[in-house]
Structure 1
Amino acid sequence: MASSAEQIRERVRRADEARIAARAAAAADADRIAAERDATRVRLAQLDQELGAAALQALKLMAPEELAEFTDRPVREVREWLGGDGRGARRGNTAGRRRTPRGGRSGVAASSAPSGSTAPSGSTAPSGSTAVPPPGEGGAAVPDEGGASGDTAVPVPTIAAGLAPASAS
């Protein structure tokens, strides 16, 4: 026996009601837990401030090592209470950063070619001069984006002797 359109609508409505109720309950649970987490974060921030103030007062009377010994905590943790990470000041990784180029002149790139190197045009480039190959001659090969397997290359000019020296003023 076939179901009437009204019976089908009623079954769909009941299934939807159960799904709606389950989704609403799941969303309410997630919201309740998120609110509890937010309140815990606020309380933790308050405790961090109180602990920092108490540690600061204690350090007026004793060294961090002594406070660590009395509280049975690592010295690193005692220093963290004061807002640091317990390792002291760090400069960070400065490898690869240079204030001035190797050439020693601020704002001027250092020459990577030896003095008297041959420019692509065949002439000898004096030390400190600019030697740029003409378009289509020399330079580095960069794969053409149109190449299917990277077998096509487009020449890109390279600077062989760096930038011209700054004029003395």
Structure 2
Amino acid sequence: MMKIIRLVAFIVLFLLNTNVSGTNIDSLRSEINISISNKKIDLLNEIAEHYLKSNIDSAIFYSQKALLLSSSIQYIDGRLYSLNKLAFAYYIKNNEEKTREYAKEALELSREMDNNLGKAQACNILGLIEWKIGAYPKAVDYYLKALDFATLAENKVEIAKSNNYLGLVYWKTGNYPKS
């Protein structure tokens, strides 16, 4: 019964994470034809977010474009968002090397910015990689760090993700009391 509850919780969290806002991608694309600015980068990142659910290659394309532009105008928040989205997109594509590269860069940038939410997101992504390759103790370490950072950021969604990931690792390793 507990397994079913955990699975349902994971599915609900995944669906909540998709952030369906009803925004039409075509209308977002039409707004992009503005000069390089924070708004343009935010739009590119928003389009990438939408494509994470349907077309990973497009999500990567828009995230990379946002990353390049945010770096060129020193828009640090846009850069961090792009790095975390690229890391997650490459995780979905099963590209462990690129996932690690972007997640570690996001974690480093988050530390420089003292951005706890960014640190939590990057740690959760790094934990996913460790979980996927069966390095469960490392995954738990990353998820616990992510939980601490998410708690400091007071971000309930990231707290829920971290707890969910921890529960799944504990369940997978047979540590049912902790799961």
Q: TM-score, normalised by structure 2?
A: 0.19
> Relative contact order (alpha carbons < 8 A, sep ≥ 6): 1 or 2 greater?
2
Higher Cα radius of gyration = 1
